[in-house]
Amino acid sequence: MPSRYREDSFSYDRDAFGPVATTEDELLDQLQENLERGCTLEPCFVERIERFFSHLDHKNAQRVYDVGIELTQSQKHETAK
Is the pTM higher than 0.75? The answer reads no
Which pLDDT band holds residue 1 (cuts at 50, 70, 90)?
Answer: low
pLDDT in tens, 4-56: 666 677 888 888 999 999 999 999 999 999 999 999 999 999 999 988 888 88
CA distances from 38 to 15, 27, 30, 35, 59 (A): 23, 17, 12, 5, 26
